[in-house]
Structure 1
Amino acid sequence: MQEITWPQDYLPGFTDNFASNEVIVAGLGAADVWPLLATAPLWPSYYANSANIRFYDGKGPELADGTRFYFETFGFPVEAEVVEFVSPHNGQPGRVAWHGWAGAGDARLDVHHAWLVEDLPGGRVRILTQETQRGKPAEELARAKPNPMINGHQDWLEGLAAAALQRKSER
């Protein structure tokens, strides 16, 4: 199985917070999942913790390398820029990652949020999302029990998989 590609400053274990979630779902392929993830304005339709998605510079609604966008999640207004975007093709996994930031000074939160959508043998798909965070808000999130990042991202994965299954059944 493939893994996330990390920028040096966001390598897990060297940041203030890290969350990792994955699901493996039978009956789906990366091509079924990818459009729902790559089209950010669809996120609120299957993930209630995302809202008010908008793009800058006339871009969107699909993510792409270098695309700047805004969304709200976990109570944070997040500015973001896509730093990796590779659609799944020819047996290679789909990869999307963005650098996101919110706040300023001691309240600043910086994140690297990455996704991998990978076909597996037997008609299965693996959806992996991992996020590293830096800043005082990240330190607070890391100490919270239950962990809001782990729980929230699991909701995102499960919603994404359910939406992809629903779309596939409607075809």
Structure 2
Amino acid sequence: MSDILWPAGYVPGFTENFVSNEVIVTGLTAADIWPLLDTPDLWPTYYANSAEPRFYDGKGPRFSAGARFFFKTFGFPVEAQVVEHVPPVPGQPARVAWHGWAGEEGAADRLDVHHAWLIEDLSEERVRVLTQETQKGQPAVALANDPAQPMINGHQQWLIGLVAAARKAKQS
């Protein structure tokens, strides 16, 4: 199976926080999942922890390489830029990743993240959806030390909602 591609400075184990969530399900393909992830306006319809997505510079409604966008999640207003965008094609996993940040650069409450997704068709009509995020900054330390594990649980809810929305769209 394929791995997430990490930029320098965001390799898991070398940041203040790292989370990894994955599902493997039958009856869906990367092509079924992709439009729901690639279109941030759809996120709030299946993931309650996402709000107010919008693009800048006339981009959208779907991601593209370099696109700047905004959304709210985990109580943070996140500015972000797409740094990897590979739609699904046969024989290769789909990938999307963004660098996100909240707070002013250099401020104590600054949070920087690399959030990556990999959607991969597997044998026997299965699809794998992997999402991983590394985080830097004091808010990342607090999230890593929270025994309620909000990042792990929140991203798992995102995966559950994404799969459910893809199943519903496929039935329509």
1:115-134 to 2 correspondences below 5 Å? 115-134=117-136
The amino acid of 2:3's aligned partner reads: E
Q: Secondary structure at the match of 1:64?
A: coil
Aligned residues: 170
Gaps of 5+ in 1: none
SS of the aligned residue for 1:106 comes to coil
Is residue 49 of structure 1 aligned with residue 49 of structure 2? yes
- Aligned residue identity for 1:110: D
Return the match for 1:162 from 161, 164, 172.
Answer: 164
Normalised to the residue count of structure 1, the TM-score between the two structures is 0.98
Corresponding residue number in structure 2 for 1:144: 146
SS at match of 1:163: helix
After superposing on structure 2, the runs of 4+ consecutive aligned residues of structure 1 that deviate more than 6 Å are none
Q: Percent of counterpart pairs with the same letter?
A: 67
Mapped partners of 2:109, 2:162: distance in 1 = 30
Q: How does 1:22-171 map to 2 (within 5 A)?
A: 22-104=22-104, 105-170=107-172
Write out per-residue CA displacement over residues 8-33 of structure 1, whole angstroms, 9 at most, x where no aligned residue: 10000000000000000100000000
Summarize deviations over 1:117-151 as a string: whole Å, max 9, x none.
00000101000000000000000000001100000
RMSD: 0.5
Cα distance between partner residues in 1 of 2:148 and 2:44: 23
Structure 2: stretches of 5+ with no match in the other structure: none
Tell me, in whole angstroms, the C-alpha distance in 2 between the residues paired with 1:145 and 1:23: 23
* Bigger proportion of residues as helix: 1
The letter for the 2-side match of 1:6 is: W
> Which deviations, in whole Å up to 9, do the C-alpha atoms of 1:49-102 show, x marking residues without a partner?
000001100000101100000000000000000000000102211000000000
